Structure 1
Amino acid sequence: MSLAHVLLTSLLEKPSSGYDLARRFDKSMGFFWSATHQQIYRELKRMEDQGWIHASPAEDAGKTKKKTYEVLEAGRQELKQWVLLATDPYLIREEMAVRLRAEAILGPLGIEEELKRHLKLHEEKLALYLTIEQRDFIKDSVLSREQQIQYRVLLLGIETQRTWIQWAKDTIALFKKLDSNK
């Protein structure tokens, strides 16, 4: 997946200025794809050069350099082709797993505190996702096709956080057990 496909999807959901897109990105797509605001602006320029999007001056009659980006037909076609491409399952890049492997070889080093910090961060992320679930999906009894699919993406995030939280709690408990056997 490339940042261009993430941005095309986001712009199809709502045409936006680069600034608004970057702010929205942090609160939606940013939960599962990371990009700096600078990367977003560079990619918007590249996508415009490829004819996938069009930038129009802002409605402020040119008083600012702000542009509103919209997806063109070529961008829609690119996204459609990309959606149908075969892909391999997600490859996990979890630094904590590597740190634990190193702890196993070199330890004990006291990694439990960092693991507890990660646990807290995942609990906070889960609480945020559950708030979004209540705000955007549970209150409405009838969801559109788009909302139902977006809800499935959120549920993946919720289950990922729950799994990580349980794994961290079990791993912390293992460290307590191992430390008490010294």
Structure 2
Amino acid sequence: MKGIETCVNGLEATMSSTIPTLGFAILSVLARADSTGYEIAGRMRNPVARFWTASHSQIHADLRRLLDSGLVGYTTAPGPGPQEKKIYSITAEGLDALREWVTEPPRPQPERDELVLKTYAAWLADPAALIAMFRTALREHEGRLAEYEAAWASVEEEAPAFGTSRFGNMAALRCGLTYERHRADWCRWMIDQLSSSLKPS
């Protein structure tokens, strides 16, 4: 019996390691509601958990892999054109894989932040031009922050319980709020530092 359990656990670990992170993002979407590929892409354009995006071509390729692995299935329905549309759903195996993946430590990801990289070399640039760049970045972060704060006001009133998909929405939104506040504060600090450098000594 122990040998069988070891074999099953090893198979689950192998499956988890072969599914790309985007695959799990798709499974996370389908765990909430059956969706067409177009609907999944729409949710990715409004980033999943505000920190994950993907193109339609990437989603289509990963959906094929998930189908081949038996983690999703689909039914067909009349489409807007001559072809039927596919409505994807997560399978029991897909839910098991998603539950297993959720508690695994995140896979190492390359740290790539172009604005921070530019800051690293900022001492070579014209401070006035840098100020303009950071003001643009600040407006973008303040805009997203205002959007997240409006969303938070409605989510906080509902206070969704753990075990519901809306709790996941709230938790991800909380992270988004913290991130955008931090980035906005950092942009303001950079603008202050650069503005000080332009003042005559």
TM-score per shorter chain, which class?
Answer: 0.7 to 0.9
Question: RMSD of the alignment, in Å?
Answer: 2.4
TM-score by length of 1: 0.87
- Structure 1 segment 56-75 matched on structure 2, within 5 A: 56-58=75-77, 64-75=83-94
Assess, with a 3 A threshold, how the Cα gap between structure 1 residues 178 and 89 changes in structure 2: closer, same or farther.
farther
Q: Distance in 2 between matches of 1:3 and 1:20?
A: 15
- Structure 1 segment 1-182 matched on structure 2, within 5 A: 2-29=21-48, 31-58=50-77, 64-87=83-106, 92-104=111-123, 106-108=124-126, 110-135=129-154, 137-140=155-158, 142-145=159-162, 146=164, 147-181=166-200
Q: Distance in 1 between matches of 2:151 and 2:47?
A: 10
Assess, with a 3 A threshold, how the Cα gap between structure 1 residues 90 and 128 changes in structure 2: closer, same or farther.
farther
Specify the SS of the correspondent of 1:126: helix
CA deviation profile, 1:26-73 (whole Å, cap 9, x unmatched) = 22406201211111111111111111100110256x953311100112
Report how many residues are paired: 179
Q: Which runs of no fewer than 5 residues in structure 1 stay unpaired?
A: none
Q: In the alignment, is the contact (CA less than 8 A) between 2:24 and 2:98 conserved in 1?
A: yes
Q: Distance in 2 between matches of 1:87 and 1:27?
A: 22
Assess, with a 3 A threshold, how the Cα gap between structure 1 residues 103 and 157 changes in structure 2: closer, same or farther.
same
Kindly state the Cα deviation for residue 143 of structure 1 after the two structures are TM-superposed. Answer: 2.1
TM-score by length of 2: 0.79
Code of the residue aligned with 1:108 in structure 2: it is D
- Identity within the alignment, %: 24
Q: In the alignment, is the contact (CA less than 8 A) between 1:58 and 1:64 conserved in 2?
A: no
Kindly state the Cα deviation for residue 129 of structure 1 after the two structures are TM-superposed. Answer: 1.0
Assess, with a 3 A threshold, how the Cα gap between structure 1 residues 84 and 144 changes in structure 2: closer, same or farther.
closer
Q: Which runs of no fewer than 5 residues in structure 2 stay unpaired?
A: 1-19
Query: 2:5 corresponds to which residue?
Result: none
